[in-house]
Structure 1
C-alpha cells in the first residue's frame, strides 16, 4: 500500500472490500489535517496543514507559486521556533497568512502526523466520521424532536431508552414486525380491532385509555390527538396539565413516563408469558415506582453546607504565584499575566493582544507566555494559576491525550517547566482570578500591550490587587 494513501489511486486488482474502504477517502479528506512537528514531510500546496481555514490548504498570493516545491519546514525558523513571517507573507494571501501565523511551533521538533479535526483530541473515530458525514447531508426526517432534552430528562435510563425507541419507531410493535418480518397477526392484543402501532397501543386503544384515566388524574387520551410516534415524545416533553396545582412538573413527567413503561411491560407479559393483565396491580406499580424514584432524586436540605467563599491566597515564602487569564472579543484576544509574592504584593503585570482562534487557545497561550516570562525573570519557585480548567487539567494529567488545538502549546509549556526548581499548575475558580481577568479586559478594551511594575501600576489595578488580598495593603505604600 502507498504511504500516501489519501492521495493514491486504488490498485487495479483491489478487492470489493478494499474498494469500499477507498470510498471513505472522501469523508476522511474533509477532516484530516497535519499537526506540525518539524514540517519536513508537509507540502504547503498539496497537503492539508492549516486547521483554521476551509479545506486546510492555504491560498497562494500568486497562482504561479504553487509550482514551487516548498515544505512547511522551509517556513520555520528552527533556532527561534517561530515562523519566517516575511516569507509567509510573500507566499500566501492575507487570510491564509493570518491563519498560518496563529499555528504554534513546537520547541521540541517531532514527526508530522495526521490528526482528525472534528474530534477534539485529534483521534480518528468511526463515530466522529459518521457524524461528520451526516452533517453534510440534508435532513431525512421532518421530525422536530429535541433528543438532547430526552436524554437529559431526570428519569431511569431504561425509560429514556424506551422513549427513544418509541420516537424513532423501532419498538417491536406488531405493526413494525409486520413491516419487517410479515407476521401473521398484527392486531392489538387488547382490543383485537386495530393494527398495533405505538400510538394505538399506548394512547388510542380502549384498554390504554381506561388505564390512563385511572392512573393519570382522570386523563382522557382521546383529546390528545396522538397519531405518530413523535407525538408521544412531544407529549413527554410538554406533559398535559393536571387538576391539582400542588403537583410539580417533575411528578407529572414521572407519572406519565412510568405509565407508558408499565403498559409496555403489561403488554409483553400478556404476549410472551400468557399472564393476563392485572390493571389494579399495574396502577399500584406505577404509583409505587413514582414515589420511590421521587424519594431518590429529591434534594436534601436538612444538612445543606454553606457555600464556600473563594478568594485569592498568597504563595509560600520565597515562591512566586503567577495568575493568567484571557479576554476575547470577535477575532481579537488579550492575554494577561500577574505575578505576586508571598505578601500578595504585585511584582509585575503583563498584557498583550493576540489573534484569537478560540478562548481555550487564548488561555493556553497566556499560560505559555507566563512560563516564558517567569523563566526570563529568573524565578526558580513558581505556582501558575488560572481558571482555564481544560488547560490545567490537561497539563496535570499523565496520559498526554490533549486536545489537538492546544497540544503544541501544552507540550511547549511542559518542556519549559523543567527550568524551574519548583513548579506547579493549579486550576482555580474565576472568583480567585479576578485581577488577571480585569487586566486582560483592560488590555482588550484599550487595545494596548503593557508591562507594569509596582511603582507605576495604575490606581485601578492596584485597588484590584488590594481587594483580592487586603493584607497586602500594609506592604504597599
Structure 2
C-alpha cells in the first residue's frame, strides 16, 4: 500500500521515509536561508564550528558519485572548477576540458551552461521541474533509495511497468481504477473466488470452457471477441494473446493510438458490467450495444472536459538525471546577444516554445536547469530601450525552425546574416 499508484500501489505514505523527507525540508531551509533565526539556532547547537554542507568534488552531474573519475596530470590537486572556465568570455576552456577529462565527462561538462551575467552559484533541487524543494519529491526519492538499498526487484527506477500509464489517460477515474485493478488481477473473477474458497468452480460463467481470469473474460472469451470485432481496426485485427491483462494493456499501448486505448478502457469496463448483469440478473447485452455504449460514453466524457495537458504525478524517474537546458532557451539568449552585438536597442523576440516565452514575459525567477539561461536573457533584455517577447506557432515560421534544425549539425557557433542555405530556399518562398 505504501507504493505509488504508478507502480501498482495505493499511494499511502510510509512514515519513516516521510519523516526523513520532513527532515530534508529543514536541511533545505538551512541551506537556502542560512541567516534565518532557525538556521542560526540549529548552527549554534549542532555545527557551531563549520558549515552545514561542504561540497567536496561533487560538482559533475553524472550519478552516482557525482565526482570526476578521470585522473589529471595537468592541473594541481587543489585546482577548482574555475581553473577550466574562461572568465572573460564566460565559457568553458573547451580544449583544456577535453585534454583533462575523459570523453564522456568532457562532453557533460561542456554542456553545463555558464552564466553570461556572472550570477552566483546556487543549489537547486533536481527532483522538481522548477528547482524548488518539496516534501513530496523528497519522499519519493527516499523510497527509491530504500528500494535500491534492499535491491527490490520491482523498483520503479529500473523497470517501470508500462500499464501504469493508465493513470495518465483522459478517461474517468472510475475507468482508470477498473483498469488498474484488472491489471493487478484483483477483481472478483471466478478464478479469484475459487482461490478464496468462495466459489467451487473457476469456469467462465458465459462460455463455460476456460477458467475465468481477467484476460479471459475481457479478451479471450468468445463473448468478448464479439465485442472487439465491432471496435476499431487496431482491436479487430489484433492477434495478441498475452498471459495476463497487464501484458495485454502494455502491448496495446505500444501499438495503438491514444484514442483506441481510451475506447478499449471504456469497452473493457462495459464487458465486465455485462458479465455482472448476466450472473446476477440473467441479462445479456448484445456486443454491438456494448461497443456503441463505450464509444458514446467516451465522446460525452471528452466533450465535457476542459482543454488541458495532463502530466505524470508518479515516481521520480529521469527528473533526477541532469539534462542540458533546452535549445529553445539557449536560442533566445543567443538571439539577444546577437541583437546587442549589432547595436540594436529595440527588438522583437519571437519563439515557438510557449513555456519559454511565458517565462521570459513573467518576472518569476526560476532555479531549475533552464532558470539561469532565462535569468541571463531577462537581464540583458532589461538593458534595451524596448523589447517584446512574442509566441509564434511553428507553422507560422517554418524557415526559422528548419534553420535551427540545420544548425544542430554545425559543431561551432556560426552567424550568417545574408547567406541562406540552398536547402531552405523553397521554405523561404513558402513563408513569404
| Distance (whole Å) between structure 1 residues aligned to residue 254 and residue 86 of structure 2 | 61
Which of the two has higher C-alpha Rg? 1
Q: Counterpart in 1 of 2:369?
A: 405
Write the distance in 2 (CA, Å) between the matches of 1:186 and 1:196: 12
**Aligned partners of 2:246, 2:228: CA distance in 1, in Å?**
21
Pairwise CA distance, 1:166: 1.1
Separation in structure 2 between the aligned mates of residue 214 and residue 296 of structure 1, nearest angstrom: 24
CA contact (8 A) 1:150 1:237 kept: no
Q: Does 1:364 align with 2:374?
A: no
CA contact (8 A) 2:169 2:262 kept: no
Q: Distance in 2 between matches of 1:439 and 1:464?
A: 12
- TM-aligned CA deviation for residue 51 of structure 1: 2.0
Give ranges in structure 1 of 5+ residues lacking alignment.
1-15, 26-33, 219-223, 240-247, 271-275, 300-356, 471-477
1:57: Cα distance to partner?
A: 1.8
- Counterparts of 1:424-439 in structure 2, within 5 Å, are 424-439=388-403
Aligned-pair CA distance for 1:169: 1.9
2: distance between equivalents of 1:453 and 1:236? 49
Higher RCO (CA 8 Å, separation ≥ 6 residues):
2
Judged with a 3 Å threshold, the aligned counterparts in structure 2 of structure 1 residues 464 and 397 are, in CA distance, closer, same or farther, namely farther
Change (3 A) 1:291 1:96: closer
Matched, 1:102 2:106: no
Give me the whole-angstrom Cα distance separating, in 2, the residues matched to 1:253 and 1:18: 37
| Cα pair 2:70 2:100 within 8 Å, conserved | yes
Measured after TM superposition, the shift of residue 413 of structure 1 is: 0.8
- CA offset at residue 140 of structure 1? 8.3
Deviation of 1:361 (Å): 3.1
- 8 A Cα contact 2:263 2:294, kept in partner: no
Tell me the number of residue pairs that the alignment of Structure 1 and Structure 2 aligns: 351
CA distance in 2, matches of 1:366, 1:225: 49
1:231-285 superposed Cα distances (whole Å, 9 cap, x missing partner): 765797799xxxxxxxx98999478424423146548xx8xxxxx4241579898
Q: Which residue of 1 aligns with 2:66?
A: 56
Q: Which residue does the alignment assign to 1:391?
A: 356
Of 260, 284, 289, the match for 2:271: 260
Equivalent runs, 1:419-458 vs 2, <5 Å: 419-440=383-404, 449-454=413-418, 457=419
For 1:414 and 1:195, the matched residues in 2 are separated by 65
Distance 1:381 1:453 in 2: 18
Write the mapping of 1:264-413 to structure 2, written as runs, cut at 5 A.
Answer: 266=277, 276-280=280-284, 286=290, 289-290=293-294, 292-293=296-297, 296=300, 361-397=326-362, 399-401=364-366, 404-413=368-377
Question: Which structure's residues are more often strand, by fraction?
Answer: 1
Write 1 or 2 for the structure with the bigger share of helix: 2
1:113 aligns with 2:137: no
Question: Greater shift after overlay, 383-392 or 227-236?
Answer: 227-236
On the 8 A contact 1:42/1:112 being kept in 2, the answer is no
Q: Deviations over 1:336-393 (max 9, x none)?
A: xxxxxxxxxxxxxxxxxxxxx9785333222212112222333222111233444334
Q: 1:431 to 1:195 in 2, by over 3 A?
A: closer
Per the alignment, do residues 92 and 147 of structure 1 end up closer, same or farther by CA in structure 2, a change over 3 Å counting? same
Change (3 A) 1:358 1:427: farther
Unaligned runs of 5+ in 2: 1-14, 25-30, 33-50, 231-239, 304-321
Q: Does the 8 Å contact 1:251/1:290 carry over to 2?
A: no
Match of 2:198 in 1: 185
Query: C-alpha distance in 1, partners of 2:60/2:73?
Result: 18
Structure 1 residue 170 and structure 2 residue 179: aligned? no
Aligned-residue Cα RMSD (Å) equals: 5.8
Q: Corresponding residue for 2:177?
A: 161
Closer/same/farther in 2, CA of residues 145 and 261 from structure 1, 3 Å limit: farther
- Once residues 81 and 429 of structure 1 are traced to their aligned partners in structure 2, the CA distance between those partners, rounded to angstroms, is 32
**Aligned equivalents of 2:113, 2:263: Cα separation in 1:** 54
Taking structure 1 as reference, are residues 71 and 173 closer, same or farther at Cα in structure 2, changes over 3 Å only? farther
- Within the alignment, does 1:467 sit opposite 2:432 as a pair? no
